[in-house]
Amino acid sequence: MNNVLQLVWLVPFFPLVGFLINGLLRKQLPKSLISIIGSGMVLASFIVSVLLFMEVKNGNTQVVNLFDFINSGTLSIPFAFQIDQLSSLFLLIITGVGFLIHLYSAAYMHEERSEHFGRYFCYLNLFVFSMLLLVLGANYVIMFIGWEGVGLCSYLLIGYWFKNTEYNNAAKKAFIMNRIGDLGFLIAIFWLIAKLGTVTYTTPEGSGVFDLYNKLTRTDIIGITLLLFVGATGKSAQIPLYTWLPDAMAGPTPVSALIHAATMVTAGIYMIARSNILYTMAPETQSVVAAIGLATALFAATIAIKQNDIKKVLAYSTVSQLGYMFLGLGVGAYTGAVFHVMTHAFFKALLFLGAGSVIHAMHHEQDIRKMGGLAKHLKITHATFLIGCIAIAGIPPFSGFFSKDEILAAAYEKDHLYYYLGVAGAMITAFYMFRLYFTTFWGSFRGTEEQKHHLHESPAAMTIPLIVLAILSMIGGFVGLPEVFNMGEHKLEHFLAPIFEASTKAKELVHPEVATLDHGTEIMLMSISVGVAVIAILIAWARYIKKPELNEPAGFGKVLADKWYIDELYNFIIVKPLNGLAKFMNSFVEKRFIDWLVNGVGRTVNYTSRQVRLVQSGLVGNYVLLMVLGMLALFVVKFFLKK
Amino acid sequence: MLIERYIYLAIALFCIGIVGVLARRNAIIIFMCIELMLNAVNLLLVAFSKMHLAAALPGKANAGIDGQLFVFFIMVVAAAEVSVGLAIIVMMYRNTHSVDVNFLNRLKH
């Protein structure tokens, strides 16, 4: 009956084919064909994903076993895909937004040489493939394969312009930061194998990780969830491993939109949402997740206020929004977090692509101090960017409002302090987004005459994705209308309910009284957050419309502009000591000890051979004498020493 | 007759041979010393075949005959060796006008 679901292998298969064709034939194929193959393959997966989603919506879920991957003793890890509500929703986001960004890239990257253009699309397709593996895998190992794959593609794409050393350094930084997190994830997987002997999520017989969580001791479950969270902090750029994400803006802008905003960085949220039952069973870890999420949300938001690079502002806002998602996960609002992933994918991809359009028009100028007054030149970009800003600022009825509010409401239920800090973060978010918007699009143009002369709206291949994403950012929130508006149930929550069923039940066991907020409180909370957002926008308007020139930051502003000196701090406490250790090892241990040992062996052989060489005198008499002595010695051994 | 006497004689001959080979520098004398050692062994072989095995097996007419056969082999081989060796010594004399082996230290090259 589930014939459609058996087609799931097609979803990652198409991008893989695209990757192989574009990767192998990038020098032969013309650019137009490369972009058609690259985007077409993702579009094909999107169509299959829609079919799967329809099927899942009818209530059919399935685990499709493709082949045996690892069979060793009692441990069996099949290469299996899990199609359920959570993964099918992510499939739609990844392939849908992914397709739009592929389309946009075809125009944005048009100036690249043909083989680099092919390389770009081949990496992008490989990324989509890995991300789909990550989401579809029916056990942690398949997820980990995708997890590593997206990390690799992120590295390759950040360092896409490999002739620039700084970009390469950014790529390396991203990769290394991710490796730190990956180690945590890996240890968690081994821990699960050691304790439960399986890494499969769930099975009909009840032998998966999520069925057997009761067998884990308290320490185990806290340890595993914390280690998984370490993995998530790496991939999803949370404190303390977030510094790679702003640097990752070295990559082409569509890459930032796809990988470093819409999809890859949400992998950590997906992982925790997938393992929700483990986290529900470990309230200590949940508090850690919520605290780190909230801290990141606030911290990154403060940095974003003083950034002048259009992409850096968006990067910090991504880090900040990811923090909100983790706050949601930490307070148990799994649906809210997934909802925010979805809306964030729409409006952040939109904002990044809009930024790309601005950068394109400005001839690769990213400094907002040199922009201004772009509204009349880039009409579509301006309109869509504004929509994105409103959505992220959380003004109803745009999508960001509903998802952020759901998280904040859940935070209020858990602890009022979380809520107040969250609202403060939301206020800062609205402020810096509108600071960005006003300085970029309003006021007078501050660039060079030549740039002003060349200002132009982007081609249709770039504006169409912008428009589609803008529409999605506007209406995307309606899938998760809260019940308060009396428009029936929360659709997304209803849809995702089977995924979080176990967690919900477990929570009800602990707190039998259903602690939902009454509608009055909920509306009050909403009005507070809308109110502060509007105030923040007005402040931004007052500061940046009237006096759009951005002064050099001084005092505390300088601290923010320099990102709280976190990079310098890491440099001081980690990089410098490591370099010092390396230098010590190089100059002392290596030269004095290892070299001494190795050279010593050589010298010994040299010396002994020089001594032994004297025996070879060339005189027959000496040889005979030695022979006789040797025979005598053998004789003695044979007859006198033998017992 | 006791066999020990033959053994002592053979040992004496063999040792004289060894010392001669080690101590003398004249190639011809070294050759003679080598012959001396070979013959010391021959003497032992004959002595053992006649006095040891034959005495142990009195009824058997040909007991120990193989030891004496070996002596002939050794003599033949020694004769061949001497002919080669003397040829070398002649060549050596032609080249160096000497039969002193210490002149021939080129083995180390």
A618 touches chain B (CB under 8 A): yes
What does the alpha-carbon distance between residue A316 and residue A296 come to, in Å, rounded to a whole number? 10
Would you state the pLDDT for residue A322?
93
Q: Please indicate whether, in this complex, the C-beta atoms of B108 and A620 are within 8 angstroms of each other.
A: no
8 A C-beta contact, residue A83 and residue A52: yes
Compute the count of residue pairs across chains A and B with CB atoms less than 8 Å apart.
25
8 A C-beta contact, residue A353 and residue A254: yes
Q: Please indicate whether, in this complex, the C-beta atoms of A628 and B25 are within 8 angstroms of each other.
A: no
Q: Please indicate whether, in this complex, the C-beta atoms of A620 and B101 are within 8 angstroms of each other.
A: yes
Alpha-carbon A160 to chain mean position:
17
- HSE value, Cβ hemisphere, 13 Å, CA-based, for A327: 36
Distance from CA of B23 to the nearest CA of A (A): 8
Q: Please indicate whether, in this complex, the C-beta atoms of A618 and B102 are within 8 angstroms of each other.
A: no
Find which of A619, A623, A635 to mutate to test the B interface (most B CBs within 10 Å of its CB): A619
What does the alpha-carbon distance between residue A75 and residue A207 come to, in Å, rounded to a whole number? 12
Q: Please indicate whether, in this complex, the C-beta atoms of A618 and B18 are within 8 angstroms of each other.
A: no
Q: Where are the domains of chain A?
A: 139-561, 571-641
Predicted confidence band of residue B54 (pLDDT cuts 50, 70, 90) = low
Going along chain B from its start, the domains and CATH numbers come out as 3-98 (1.10.287.3510)
Q: Please indicate whether, in this complex, the C-beta atoms of B107 and A620 are within 8 angstroms of each other.
A: yes
The residue type at A503: S
Distance from CA of B86 to the nearest CA of A (A): 17
Q: Please indicate whether, in this complex, the C-beta atoms of A621 and B22 are within 8 angstroms of each other.
A: yes
Distance from CA of B12 to the nearest CA of A (A): 16
Whether the pLDDT of residue A251 is over 60: the answer is yes
Query: By CA distance, what is B104's nearest residue in A?
Result: A619
Q: What's the mean pLDDT in A48-52?
A: 92
A622 touches chain B (CB under 8 A): no
The residue type at A560: L
The better pLDDT of the pair A183, A455 is held by A183
| 3-class SS of residue A66 | strand
A612 touches chain B (CB under 8 A): no
The better pLDDT of the pair A172, A446 is held by A172
Find which of A620, A623, A629 to mutate to test the B interface (most B CBs within 10 Å of its CB): A620
Q: What's the mean pLDDT in A371-375?
A: 82
Would you state the pLDDT for residue A484?
67
Distance from CA of A625 to the nearest CA of B (A): 6
- Which of A149, A232, A219 minimizes the C-alpha distance to A191? A219
pLDDT digits (tens, 9 = 90+) for A329-357: 999 889 899 999 999 999 999 999 999 99
Distance from CA of B104 to the nearest CA of A (A): 7
A637 touches chain B (CB under 8 A): no
Whether the pLDDT of residue A588 is over 80: the answer is yes
Nearest to B104 among A616, A620, A625 (CB): A620
Q: What DSSP letter does each residue of A554-609 carry, written as one string?
A: -THHHHHHTGGGHHHHHIIIIIHHHHHHHHHIIIIIIIIIIHHHHHHHHHHHHHHH
Query: How many CB atoms neighbour CB A422 within 10 A?
Result: 28
Complex ipTM tops 0.85: no
Whether the pLDDT of residue B24 is over 50: the answer is yes
And the tokens for A52? 């799967």
What does the alpha-carbon distance between residue A625 and residue A613 come to, in Å, rounded to a whole number? 17
And the tokens for A530? 């809308």
- Residues paired with residue A82 on neighbouring β-strands, in sequence order: A63
Query: By CA distance, what is A621's nearest residue in B?
Result: B22
Q: Please indicate whether, in this complex, the C-beta atoms of B102 and A619 are within 8 angstroms of each other.
A: yes
What does the alpha-carbon distance between residue A182 and residue A188 come to, in Å, rounded to a whole number? 10
Q: Please indicate whether, in this complex, the C-beta atoms of A624 and B102 are within 8 angstroms of each other.
A: no
Alpha-carbon A559 to chain mean position:
26
Whether the pLDDT of residue A112 is over 90: the answer is no
| 3-class SS of residue B82 | helix
What does the alpha-carbon distance between residue B2 and residue A226 come to, in Å, rounded to a whole number? 98
Q: What's the mean pLDDT in B3-21?
A: 92
What does the alpha-carbon distance between residue A550 and residue A307 come to, in Å, rounded to a whole number? 11
How far is CA A347 from each of CA A202, A390, A403, A475, rounded to the nearest angstrom? 33, 9, 12, 11
What does the alpha-carbon distance between residue A335 and residue A489 come to, in Å, rounded to a whole number? 13
Whether the pLDDT of residue A127 is over 90: the answer is yes
- Within 8 A of B108 by CB-CB distance, chain A residues are 616-618
Whether the pLDDT of residue A1 is over 60: the answer is no
* Average per-residue pLDDT for chain A: 88
A620 touches chain B (CB under 8 A): yes
| 3-class SS of residue A27 | coil
| 3-class SS of residue A614 | coil
Whether the pLDDT of residue A512 is over 60: the answer is no
8 A C-beta contact, residue A259 and residue A154: yes
Distance from CA of A601 to the nearest CA of B (A): 27
A491-495 long-range Cβ contacts below 8 angstroms, 24+ apart = A492/A335, A492/A338, A492/A339, A492/A342, A493/A335, A495/A57, A495/A85, A495/A89
Distance from CA of B58 to the nearest CA of A (A): 31
Q: For the purposes of burial, counting CB atoms within 10 Å of the CB of A514, is it exposed (0-12), middle (13-18) or buried (19 or more)?
A: exposed
Q: Please indicate whether, in this complex, the C-beta atoms of A621 and B107 are within 8 angstroms of each other.
A: no
Predicted confidence band of residue A513 (pLDDT cuts 50, 70, 90) = low
Residues of B with CB under 8 A from a CB of A: 18, 21-22, 25, 101-102, 104-109
A85's CB contacts (< 8 A; 6+ apart) are: A56, A61, A495, A496, A497, A498, A499
Buried-state track A478-509, b at ≥16 Cβ within 10 A, e below 16: ebbbbebbeeeebebbebbeebbebbbeeeee
B93's CB contacts (< 8 A; 6+ apart) are: B99
Q: What's A5's DSSP letter?
A: G
pLDDT digits (tens, 9 = 90+) for B62-78: 777 888 899 999 999 99
Nearest to B101 among A621, A625, A628 (CB): A621
Window from A371-380, A525-534, B35-44 with minimum mean pLDDT: A371-380
The better pLDDT of the pair A617, A538 is held by A538
Helix (H) or strand (E) holding A81: strand A75-83
Would you state the pLDDT for residue A81?
92
- Residues paired with residue A76 on neighbouring β-strands, in sequence order: A71
Whether the pLDDT of residue B45 is over 80: the answer is yes
Query: By CA distance, what is A625's nearest residue in B?
Result: B22
